[in-house]
Structures are given as C-alpha cells and as structure tokens.
Structure 1
Amino acid sequence: MIYLDYQATTPLAPETAAAMRPWLETSFGNPHSPYRIGREAAAAIEVAREHILHALGDGGSGRLYFTSGATEAVNWALKGAAARLPVGRRRIVTLATEHACVLDSLAWLGSQGFETDVVPVRRDGLVDLDLLASHVDDRTGLVTAMLVNNEIGVVQPIAEIAKLARSRGALFLCDAVQGFGRVPLPIKSCDMVAVSAHKVHGPKGIGALWVRSGVALDPLLHGGGQEGGLRSGTLSPALCVGFGEAARLLLERAGEDRAHVAGLWDMARAALGPGWRLNGSAEQRYLGNLNVRADGIDAARLISEVRQVSFSAGSACASGSGRPSHVLSALGLAGREARSSIRLGFGRYTRPEELETALSLIVEAAERQRSLAA
C-alpha cells in the first residue's frame, strides 16, 4: 500500500516510537504522583513540553498545555476564551474554510448567545483582508483562522489577520495543526495556537494548546486540574514524550523535509499534467498538500478503484458523510467540480518511486473512467 494521505495522519517516526517505548513498558508511574517514578515521568513531560515550545518558536511568552488532541485544544480555546468575553464583545469571527472543530464549536457558541460571523474566502482559498476588516469590529472579542488548510493546503496570512484582530482589541486563535514545523508560524502575533502530534509523525491521542501569558481561559474539563490548574486528567508520559520527540525532529530535519516535499510536489505536478487543475492558491501553500480536480472524474469511484494507494477526496473527518466538501464549496466550485477533486498528501517518508507508481495508477484509472463515460 502506498500512503498519500499525510493530512489525515502521518507515519510514526521511528525515533518517536523508540522514545515512547520505555514509558509504555517499564516507566509506568503516574506523572502527578510525588514518589520517584512519578517525578521521573513528570520530568520527562517537561522536557517534551520544552521541545514543542522550541519548535513553535516561543521564547517564553506563553504556556503550553497538553490536551487529548487538536480538537480538544480548539474547543477549549474557543469556549474557554468566549466565557471570559465581556458583554458587548461577544462576537467571534472566522473563515468559511476552517476545520469542523472550529465551525461546529462556533455553531454551539451561537446557540449560547454569542454572535458568530463566518467570512467567505476568494476563489484561491485565501481571505480578502479588506473584507475581513469590514467584519471585525469593536464588538468582536475573538478571531480565529487556520495557518494551513487541511483540505487544500493554502497558507492564510496569519500575521496580518492577527494584527487586524488586535487592532480591534480582539484575541486571535490560530489552528496551526497542518502547518506546525512546516511553514513559518508568527507566534508573536497569536494569543492561542492549537497543534497536534499525529500530523507531525507523533502519536495519536495528544495535542496541545499554547496560550500567551496574560490570556485567561475557563477550563473545559473539570477534575484535578493536573495541567496548570486548568486542564484536568492524568497525562500520558508516553504520548507527551512522543509529541516532544516528534517536535524535536521537526526542527532537526526542517531543511531536509522541506526540500524533499518540494521535489515530490514538482514530480506530482509534472506527472498529472495540465488536465488536472489545482484547487487553491498556487503560490501561498504548503507543497505537501496537492488538491486537484479533473473533468469527468468521480473521486469516490477513483479512490475505490485504485486500492493500492491511500488518498482522499478531502478531510478525513467528513469522509463517508456524503456531503460535498465545505472547503471546496467555499472556493465557489460546483458540485461536479468538488466531486472530481482528490487530495494527495505526502511528506518525510514518501519515496519518489512509490509516488511515481501511485500517480501512474491514478492517471490510468482516471483515463478509464473518461473512456467509459465517452
């Protein structure tokens, strides 16, 4: 099986698996316990926390809280910050192409009396900053935007969006899950940042929320308050250590990974040819995400026919729903165009020869579809 769905999840790095193993097998102490094996686990977690902060580019201006994943981190950031918004500033602004964890959380907040505003994007998937400025007013308490879109790979102008939010006195949350360690993150412009381990060759089941010093959040989970008195639940040393090692590798391999992905992107674009059109900006994007469409293709059928390759038609969170991608719809694509779109995700462990084989299989299957429809 050739794996080309790096936006859904990434292969676990061998170094990460090795770093986690002792904490799964012999070092089983509860990190919140006072005796030696508990203190050792707690110390390992703090080392991991520092690795992630370093990869984020934080120079000590915030606090990193471990969570069960990015979905929890985003929910906590939105709901925890919203609970502190003063009367008269209970308006939250986001973009139409955000992840479901943002849009669904805002839908819930809307049912709780908050005003929510979803701003459309341009045909290339990027927000028009002048349009956004007209939506962010003095009643706005919170703005949120994704660094790299999980479906189409475009990179939003986060520094400019954050500057706009701050100019109106609003907090800014960045969902950096797909861009963490891969594209520049202007963390100095952000008030909160959500990240996930399994998108960067770490384990599933752990993420983190970075919160700037001075930003107050209400807890989402109540109990023992193990994480800084705000996030309750026993931390897994193995998962935390795995995330930390994955973050360390992001920095160590940054240049190598970037060059490798750029080479794969060039290969894929050349192999697919002009018959496959790019969804989203060609310039402002992460090159490990290739979302393309071709006339006369049914993506769901193509995926079922090319069983030797793992690729998708969009977000793994919406797979099987039968609904068209809200991201592709936000770009103005018609239903048939959205249904003819596929997403190819590649990265550190994708070998050029296997990508070449996969592309050949996809192109051949697409041509068979066209010939049968003719």
Structure 2
Amino acid sequence: MTSDFIYLDYAASAPVRKEAFAALQDYREKPFAGANPNSLHTLGRLASQELETSRKRIAQALGGGFRPTDIVFTSGGTEANNMAVYGIAEAMRKKDTARTKVIFSAIEHDSVLDLVPAMRERGFEVILVPPQSDGSIHPEDLQKLMDNQVALVSIMSANNETGIVNDVDSLAQLVHAYKAPFHTDAIQAFARIPLALAQVDAVSIASHKIGAPIGIGVLALRRTCPFKAQTFGGGQELGRRPGTQDVQSAYVFSKVAQMVVEQMSEVRPYVAAHAQRVYDHLCAEGTHIVPTTTATMDNNRLPGLVSVLVDGLDSETLLLQLDAAKFEVSAGSACSSASLNPSHVLTAMGIPRNLALGSLRISFDERVSSEELDAFCDTLLQIVKTYR
C-alpha cells in the first residue's frame, strides 16, 4: 500500500506483510521452486514434502483437532465456501435422500448467500436464520429450524461487516444433535480471535485477510464429514479439489498464518483497545454517528473492525470525501460495494434503511498507529459536520 494513503480496509484485504515477502523470496530460492508436487522425480517429491509441511502449519494454526490431511488448498475464501456448501450438502443427500434442507444465517457473506438460488435449482430447500438485533445468531433461533431433514448448516464465525462474533461451538453442538454437519466461514475471524472449532466439521479461511498474498485459501474438512467433489481431474487434494497445487502460495500462507497466530494473544488486546478508542471518538454525544451493534468489544466483536452508522449522510458521499482526504475505508463488504441498496446484513438486523445507507466499516490490525486512527476520526467528524 502506498504511504500517501492511510489504508483502513483490512477486512477487504490486508496489506501484504514484510514477512510474507520474505517467505516468498525464501521459497523461490529453494531448488524445487516451481516443480510440480505430483511429479515422481526428486524435485517433485521435495515440492510435495514442502506442500505437506504447509498443511501441517495451517492445521496447527487452525486448532480444533484438524489434521494436515483435512487441509484442502483452494483459490481463496469464496471457493472454499462454495466447495463446503455444494460438496457437503450433496454428499449428505446422497447418503440420506431425506436430507434436503440447507440452513444459512441471513448475515452470511455473498459467497454463501449467492448460492441460495443455485441450491434451490439443485432441489434443496434453503432456510435463513435471522440474527438478533445486535447482529448475532443465537442457538435458540437455529433450534426452531432444525429437524432430521437438514443436510448442512453454515454459519459464519464472525461477520465481515459488523465484526459480530458468533458462538460457533454452541451452534455446532446443536446441529450435531440432529446428526447434520456444520460448516463455518472463519475468513474474518481466523488469526484475529481464538477459534472454537472442536465441534466444527468444515471451516473456510483465506490468505489475504491476514497479510499474505491474494489467491489462496483453505477448506479444512474432517475426514468424517461427507463430501462430494465438485471438480474433477488428476485426483489432487485426495480427490476433493483436483488441479496442480500452488506450493509457493501454500508455503507463504502457512508461514504467515503460523506467525500471526503465535502473536495473537499479544496483538489482540492492543488492536481491540485501538478499536474501542475509535468508537469512543466517533460515537461521542452530538456527532450523529452511532455503533452498528450494541455488542461489547470483549468476546463479542472482532478486534480491529469498527462498524458505524452516520445519520443523515450516505456511505458513497462519505467514502468519496474520505478518499479525497486519503483515508481508505469501506461501506461494508468489498464484494457488494457497488450496490446502492442497504447491506443485507444491516437490513436483517432491523436497522432502518435511511440509517443503514450511512454505514462505514473501518478495519485495521496492529500495523496502523493510534495517530493515524485519530487523524481519520478527526477528518470524518469534520466531513459530517460540514455536510450536516
């Protein structure tokens, strides 16, 4: 990212870390760099060994009892979510023809919710769990929708717009009582908060959210979880996602994931304190800015993600003015930023349209200073004062 701008859109894509560039250079200097890990010659076998080592690092970083053989490398988080939804639901229905229902939360990322019409075309009934007013998904609301016809439940670990953290452990236990599998999109949560994944059957993560390069993700899929491959080819990734693997990207992702998770206990409170400072600054009395959710920062919101609503102004105006002042933020998910409609997440939370249209998401990690955040807050408050 250029130093001329203060970049505060880490939830869309975090700037590549210097450690990622170092890992990339380290890989490129290895004798097997560029070798096909499926080849039988010496360099191919060395590349394969490095790929397996990368799986081990990712499995260790995830925790939750996932094993290296559970790790399936993908092109990113969207593919990982698509694979999980299609592959698990189809396999469950094949195993038991009565399993024809799929349940998502109404606050899922577009890479899950955009599958609703496609799943219906495949003959599944799709049901959406509404969030509480604070944006979280409660087990009792899911309980009302569960029965023995459910093929899959997919509920995100933390929301990409509001930062709300869901109790994935309790949700997964509830789903298992009906002998159905549970998938979670942990793309925003991974390496930012400790994940409770012991009860989760499948989890999606993505490299570029933690400061590694764009273009690689992971679907961690337990061997006990039914799965039907959606692509076909050379049988790589135990047949779950055929295609020659990108060893270089897997190596860099795993190195960065290992480092970020090791530093999380120290970084998390530091970043959370910065986020609370931003909330306090922006949402003081008389600013016409309010938090999107009433949830507290302590275990209920992601550190480093601030979600606010500006009363009486629209996000597009705010974003353009902030961009002109060289502050880069977003109105919500980068995957739907071109829409002029209120976010589906805010709508599901019951936030009035006129207020939801003024949403802003400010996201960062430990690499952003308090001085930069203070400068952003002062600029935004001045813009709001000027336009009102």
State yes or no: 1:248 paired with 2:266.
no
Contact 1:23 1:237 in 2 (8 A): no
Alignment of 1:114-193 (within 5 A): 114-193=124-203
Contact 2:102 2:125 in 1 (8 A): yes
Please give the alpha-carbon distance, in whole angstroms, between the structure 2 residues aligned to 1:83 and 1:344: 38
Deviations 1:296-342 (A, max 9, x none): 22221011011211101010000112232100111111221111110
Alpha-carbon shift at residue 80 of structure 1 (Å): 0.7
Contact 2:279 2:291 in 1 (8 A): no
Please give the alpha-carbon distance, in whole angstroms, between the structure 2 residues aligned to 1:252 and 1:185: 13
Equivalent position to 1:42, from 41, 44, 48: 48
Query: In the alignment, what sits opposite 1:79?
Result: 86
State yes or no: 1:208 paired with 2:218.
yes
Code of the aligned partner of 2:231: L
Equivalent position to 2:23, from 19, 23, 26: 19
Contact 1:151 1:343 in 2 (8 A): yes
Query: In the alignment, what sits opposite 1:113?
Result: 123
TM-score, normalized by length of structure 2? 0.92
Q: Does the residue aligned with 1:76 lie in a helix, a strand or coil?
A: helix
Please give the alpha-carbon distance, in whole angstroms, between the structure 2 residues aligned to 1:20 and 1:58: 28
Identical positions, percent: 35
Please give the alpha-carbon distance, in whole angstroms, between the structure 1 residues aligned to 2:53 and 2:377: 41
Contact 2:153 2:182 in 1 (8 A): yes
State yes or no: 1:261 paired with 2:239.
no
Q: Does the residue aligned with 1:187 lie in a helix, a strand or coil?
A: coil
Q: Does the residue aligned with 1:142 lie in a helix, a strand or coil?
A: strand
Equivalent position to 1:339, from 357, 365, 369: 357
Please give the alpha-carbon distance, in whole angstroms, between the structure 1 residues aligned to 2:211 and 2:148: 41
Equivalent position to 1:314, from 323, 332, 335: 332
Query: In the alignment, what sits opposite 2:309?
Result: 293
Q: Kindly tell me: are residues 263 and 104 of structure 1, through their superposed partners in 2, closer, same or farther at Cα, counting changes over 3 Å? A: same
Please give the alpha-carbon distance, in whole angstroms, between the structure 1 residues aligned to 2:64 and 2:251: 19
Code of the aligned partner of 2:368: T
Q: Kindly tell me: are residues 107 and 24 of structure 1, through their superposed partners in 2, closer, same or farther at Cα, counting changes over 3 Å? A: farther
Query: In the alignment, what sits opposite 2:290?
Result: 277
Query: In the alignment, what sits opposite 1:63?
Result: 70
Code of the aligned partner of 2:291: L
Which runs of structure 1 show a deviation greater than 6 angstroms over 4 or more consecutive aligned residues?
none
Alpha-carbon shift at residue 369 of structure 1 (Å): 1.0
* Segment drifting more, 59-68 vs 191-200: 59-68
Equivalent position to 1:52, from 54, 58, 70: 58
* Segment drifting more, 53-62 vs 74-83: 53-62
Q: Does the residue aligned with 1:146 lie in a helix, a strand or coil?
A: coil
Alpha-carbon shift at residue 74 of structure 1 (Å): 0.9
Code of the aligned partner of 2:385: E
Please give the alpha-carbon distance, in whole angstroms, between the structure 1 residues aligned to 2:37 and 2:218: 17
State yes or no: 1:303 paired with 2:319.
yes
Query: In the alignment, what sits opposite 1:99?
Result: 109
Please give the alpha-carbon distance, in whole angstroms, between the structure 2 residues aligned to 1:60 and 1:8: 26
Q: Does the residue aligned with 2:203 lie in a helix, a strand or coil?
A: strand
Contact 1:265 1:287 in 2 (8 A): yes
Please give the alpha-carbon distance, in whole angstroms, between the structure 2 residues aligned to 1:174 and 1:127: 12
Please give the alpha-carbon distance, in whole angstroms, between the structure 2 residues aligned to 1:183 and 1:135: 28
What value does the CA root-mean-square deviation take over the aligned residues? 1.5
Please give the alpha-carbon distance, in whole angstroms, between the structure 2 residues aligned to 1:215 and 1:266: 39
Alpha-carbon shift at residue 292 of structure 1 (Å): 0.4
Please give the alpha-carbon distance, in whole angstroms, between the structure 1 residues aligned to 2:248 and 2:383: 42
Alpha-carbon shift at residue 129 of structure 1 (Å): 2.2
- Give the gaps of 5 or more residues in structure 1: none
Contact 1:174 1:193 in 2 (8 A): yes
Contact 1:260 1:347 in 2 (8 A): no
Alpha-carbon shift at residue 212 of structure 1 (Å): 1.3
Please give the alpha-carbon distance, in whole angstroms, between the structure 2 residues aligned to 1:24 and 1:364: 48
Please give the alpha-carbon distance, in whole angstroms, between the structure 2 residues aligned to 1:58 and 1:273: 37
Please give the alpha-carbon distance, in whole angstroms, between the structure 1 residues aligned to 2:379 and 2:72: 43
Alpha-carbon shift at residue 287 of structure 1 (Å): 2.3
Alpha-carbon shift at residue 228 of structure 1 (Å): 1.5
Contact 2:193 2:268 in 1 (8 A): no
* Segment drifting more, 324-333 vs 281-290: 281-290
Code of the aligned partner of 2:90: A
Please give the alpha-carbon distance, in whole angstroms, between the structure 1 residues aligned to 2:139 and 2:44: 49
- Give the gaps of 5 or more residues in structure 2: none
Code of the aligned partner of 1:175: D
Aligned length, in residue pairs? 370
Contact 1:136 1:165 in 2 (8 A): yes
Please give the alpha-carbon distance, in whole angstroms, between the structure 1 residues aligned to 2:103 and 2:134: 20
Contact 2:100 2:125 in 1 (8 A): yes
TM-score, normalized by length of structure 1? 0.95
Deviations 1:228-287 (A, max 9, x none): 222111111211011101111122211222122122112212221333211124221112
